[in-house]
Amino acid sequence: MSIIAVVPAAGIGRRFGGEIPKQYLSLHGRTVMEHTLELLLSLAPIERVVVALHPDDTHWQSLPVFANPRIERVSGGVERCHSVNNAVVHITTQYPHVEWALVHDVARPCCPRGDIEKLIRQLDHHPVGGILAAPVSDTLKRVDATQQIQETVDRSALWAALTPQLFRARLLADALSFCLSRGVLVTDESQALEAIGMVPMVVEGSRRNMKITRSEDLALAEYYLAQNA
């Protein structure tokens, strides 16, 4: 498989707070972004890593990992889907031989390497692609605008979407273009493929593959990285 990874990293961390975007915070001796990029660079099938950065971002310049010749930068967009689209357009125009685009959140530095290898292995011959995901284990409640519970949702067929998400690059480009041209701001790549009638596959991943969203998540991420060291 010929694969180029995409890392959307143009966010400013509104939910996280603080002056420094969460991807540049220190975590187990390096920044969150360094952990994520080094994980992807360690995987032999990944030819390059395209990082979508905010146009005003200067923090990346201090990170040694950006000296790696396999890393390229593109400008990010207002929303995550705009950043991913910019990177995928770059891939399909500059590297037309590449079959697959693997999209991974910069704020998921704890994803087990073995999970990514399993995703790549299981999707090798899939016509569309798929995602890492985890079965929902919590009881789910649907509430109204005033936080009153309306019903308990059947969780038996529900999975929590994770990243990486791995799709055929040109198909992903078409799906994102379709959604963005209609003003649909998808929150993950699978949603874009679903919108054009495709049926992605789910590959079960570890719950260690957490997304750092709030400040309290850093301590748990630190613990997971220490366990993997």
Give the mean pLDDT of 53-76. 96
The whole-angstrom separation of Cα 111 and Cα 218 is 14
- Grade residue 145 by pLDDT with cuts at 50, 70 and 90: very high
Rounded to two decimals, the pTM is 0.94
- Grade residue 16 by pLDDT with cuts at 50, 70 and 90: low
Q: What is the reported pLDDT for 13?
A: 58
Q: What is the reported pLDDT for 20?
A: 87
Q: What is the reported pLDDT for 150?
A: 97
Q: What is the reported pLDDT for 15?
A: 54
Does position 12 have pLDDT exceeding 90, yes or no?
A: no
Strands 3-9 and 46-53: parallel
Does position 17 have pLDDT exceeding 60, yes or no?
A: no
Domain ranges of the chain: 3-228
Cα torsion angle, 212, 87, 125, 40, sign: negative
Burial class (CB in 10 A: 0-12, 13-18, 19+), 175: buried
The third-level CATH classification (topology) of the domain covering 3-228 is: Spore Coat Polysaccharide Biosynthesis Protein SpsA; Chain A (3.90.550)
Average pLDDT, the chain: 95
Give the mean pLDDT of 92-119. 97
Q: What is the reported pLDDT for 1?
A: 84
